Amino acid sequence: MFRFPNLAWPKRILMALALAVLLASSGLIAKPKPAGHYGYGKAATAAEIAGWDIDIRPDGRGLPDASGSVEDGEMLYEDQCAACHGSFGEGVGRYPVLAGGEGTLTEARPEKTVGSFWAHTSTLFDYIRRAMPFTQPSSLSAEDTYAITAYVLYLNDLVEDDFVLSKETFAEVAKLPNHGNFTPDPRPDVDAKRCMKNCKDPASVRITSEPTILAEEVAEDTPVKAASPQEQGAEVYNGACAVCHNQGVAGAPKLGDKADWEKRLSAGEETLIKHAIEGFQGQSGFMPAKGGRMDLSDTAVAEAVKFMLAESIN
């Protein structure tokens, strides 16, 4: 039979209930979470995705439904672009040149413009829409972007002055004059074949050897010669220690400063190596443990110290 263990319980339950109602009404208790999520965020709405999804493919896929003429583009260009790019796309000062330069790609100083170098008009449209004008990126409407794109094409003598660029007419100018000189790179990203059936258990896959091609090439070309301790020391020094010890940064004893090193060596080579490995607060400065390079082995640090002593005192 159910009974309350003591009289205080109903009161507590009531209070808890009251608190729960308060919290729920004030919105402090989260709504039920969708399964499989971490309990925050929300699904993006179609409108939100459309706001981000503004890329345009070389064939014109993704272009907005709008149009813009060379004529409109001229006014917009003069207002928003010409201050830097010049009225003729010639580029003011060191700002990018937009037009001209045809036939200069093989010269010592090629002039890479929309007409002389670029491959696709989609790049031009996308770039103007995302990044221009320089001081107010992404401020242009779809119509304005079409118009300015059309005008830049006109500056490059690629369209007539009555041309109207739109989703429909884009195909006429989708490929720019230098398009054919770009070639696809046929090299695959990776050499691995995708396994679709009877695959290995991922847990059993281990790296069993170093890349064989490299190892063979080394074996054939040059007899493998283990680096001597001195060489190792020099290598570690150049990679890790030289930053400070070359110039004497932060009170570090400089490489080649015989007097300074001899003073320190009076404590014994072992002590110096110990200080280098574990770190040391000295009178002139501070030596971080292994110079801050905790990936180095104790032996490597020791070799570097010996190298520095040898270079400085002998």
Q: Which lies closer to another protein via its Cβ, residue 55 or residue 161?
A: 161
Does 79 engage in binding with another protein (CB under 8 A)? no
Considering only residues 145 to 174 of the shown chain, the ones binding another protein according to CB under 8 A are: 157-160
Does 90 engage in binding with another protein (CB under 8 A)? yes
Q: Are 105 and 176 in contact (CB under 8 A)?
A: no
Task: State the minimum distance, in angstroms, from the CB of residue 90 to another protein.
Answer: 6
Binds another protein (CB under 8 A): choice among 60, 68, 86, 133: 86
Task: State the minimum distance, in angstroms, from the CB of residue 112 to another protein.
Answer: 15
Q: Are 81 and 132 in contact (CB under 8 A)?
A: yes
Chain-centre distance for alpha carbon 314:
46
Q: Which of 67, 187, 62, 184 minimizes the C-alpha distance to 123?
A: 62
Task: State the minimum distance, in angstroms, from the CB of residue 116 to another protein.
Answer: 12
Does 73 engage in binding with another protein (CB under 8 A)? no
**Token pair of 158 as six digits:** 């690629």
Which residue stretch of 84-92, 201-209, 245-253, 285-293 sits at the interface with another protein (rule: CB under 8 A)? Answer: 84-92
Q: Which lies closer to another protein via its Cβ, residue 88 or residue 182?
A: 88
Task: State the minimum distance, in angstroms, from the CB of residue 246 to another protein.
Answer: 39
Task: State the minimum distance, in angstroms, from the CB of residue 63 to another protein.
Answer: 23
Does 47 engage in binding with another protein (CB under 8 A)? no
Task: State the minimum distance, in angstroms, from the CB of residue 244 to another protein.
Answer: 45
Which residue stretch of 55-63, 81-89, 169-177, 254-262 sits at the interface with another protein (rule: CB under 8 A)? Answer: 81-89
Does 60 engage in binding with another protein (CB under 8 A)? no
Binds another protein (CB under 8 A): choice among 60, 100, 233, 253: 100
**How many residues form the binding site for another protein (CB under 8 A)?**
11
Binds another protein (CB under 8 A): choice among 9, 88, 134, 182: 88
Task: State the minimum distance, in angstroms, from the CB of residue 149 to another protein.
Answer: 16
Does 109 engage in binding with another protein (CB under 8 A)? no
Chain residues binding another protein by CB under 8 A are 78, 86-88, 90, 100, 108, 157-160
